[in-house]
Amino acid sequence: MGSEDIVSDIETTPVEVGDSKPIDKVSKELAAIRKRRNTDSKNRFPSAIEDWTLLAGLGYGALYALLLFGMSSGVFGESTALDHWASDTVLDAGDQCEEVLDTPWIHAYPDNDVEAVKISGRNLAEGIPVLNWTVTASDGGETPTPSQGEINKKSVKIEYDDWKTGTYELVITIDMYVMGSDMDFKNESDRVNGTERIDKTLEFEISTSKNALSFLPFVDSEVKRKQQSWKMVLALAGLLLI
C-alpha cells in the first residue's frame, strides 16, 4: 500500500515548468540595437540608407541656402543666366526669358519707407538724358503740385508724402540727345542716332492703414501711408507690354 501511495503521488504531482514569456517584436529590435552598439562594426559612413538620406538633405539645404543668398543679396546683378538655364529644364515650364542687357528701359517702383517713387533709366545710349514725368489724379481726385517735372539726368525721386489718398497715373519719358547740344533749344536733329523715346505709365493708389497690433502698449499706433501699384504699362519702341 505504501508503494502504491508513493506512485500515485508521483503521478498526480504537476510538473512545474519554468516561467517563459514570449519575446515580442520590440524586444527583438532593442536587442539588435544593443548588439550593434556593443559590437565593433567595420562598416564605414555612409553605409546604411539613412546615411545617404542625411547627406541628400544636407546637400539640398546647402544648395537652397546658396541660391537664396545669391538672389537676395544681388550677387547675380542684372544677369539672366540663371533664368535662361532654368527655362531649359523642368524647373520652368514657361517660355524663355527675354534678355534686356542691351535694351533701354525704365525702372520705376514705390519706396514706402521714404514715401517716394524712384525712377531710373537703364541701358541708355551715350549722351544727355532728358527725363520727363507727369502725374495726374484719377477718379475725381486732386492732382498734386507740382504735377510734372524735367531733369537732365537718368534718375529722379518723386516724393508723395504730401499727396492725398487716391489713385494716380504717372507718365515717364526719357529722350537721349547728343553731347554738347543746347538743351534750351533742343530738337529732333539733336537726338542720338538710332534712339527713340522710351516711356512708361505707372498707375498706383495711395492709401492709409493702421497697425493691426496697435492695441498693444509697445506697438506704434501711427497711421501708415502706403503706395500700391495695381497696374503697370510699359511702352518701349512701339511695343506695348502689360
204-229 pLDDT, tens digit per residue, is: 888 877 666 655 665 555 545 555 55
Report CA 133 to chain centroid distance, whole Å.
30
Q: 105-211+220-241: which CATH topology?
A: Immunoglobulin-like (2.60.40)
Confidence band of 242 (pLDDT split at 50, 70, 90): very low
pLDDT of residue 238: 35
Query: 101 or 3: which carries more pLDDT confidence?
Result: 101
pTM of the complete model beyond 0.85: no
> How many other β-carbons are positioned within 10 Å of the β-carbon of residue 168?
24
pLDDT of residue 222: 53
Task: Reply yes or no on whether the pLDDT at 170 is more than 90.
Answer: yes
The owner of cell 544677369 is 79
pLDDT of residue 72: 75
For the segment 9-19, the average pLDDT, to the nearest whole number, is 48
Mean pLDDT of the chain: 75
pLDDT of residue 17: 45
State in Å, rounded, how far the first CA of the chain is from the last one. Answer: 118
Query: 8 or 177: which carries more pLDDT confidence?
Result: 177
Contact 162, 207 (CB under 8 A): no
pLDDT of residue 206: 84
Tell me the three cell numbers of residue 232. 503697370
Domain extent listing, the chain: 105-211+220-241
Contact 143, 167 (CB under 8 A): no
The owner of cell 542625411 is 54
Phi-psi region of 54 (alpha: psi -120 to 50; beta: other; left: phi over 0): alpha
Q: With CA atoms as reference, report the closest residue to 163 among 234, 211, 110.
A: 110
Residues in contact with 43: Cβ distance below 8 Å, sequence separation at least 6, in sequence order:
none
pLDDT of residue 145: 86
Phi-psi region of 115 (alpha: psi -120 to 50; beta: other; left: phi over 0): left
What's the one-letter identity of residue 147?
S
Q: How far apart are CA 232 and CA 4, in angstroms?
A: 114
Tell me the three state secondary structure of residue 236.
strand
Q: Per the omega criterion (within 30 degrees of 0), is the bond before 46 cis?
A: yes
For the segment 124-136, the average pLDDT, to the nearest whole number, is 92
Tell me the pLDDT tens digit for each residue of 53-93: 999 999 999 999 988 887 777 676 666 677 777 777 777 77
> CA torsion angle for 240, 206, 116, 128 (degrees, to 10)?
30
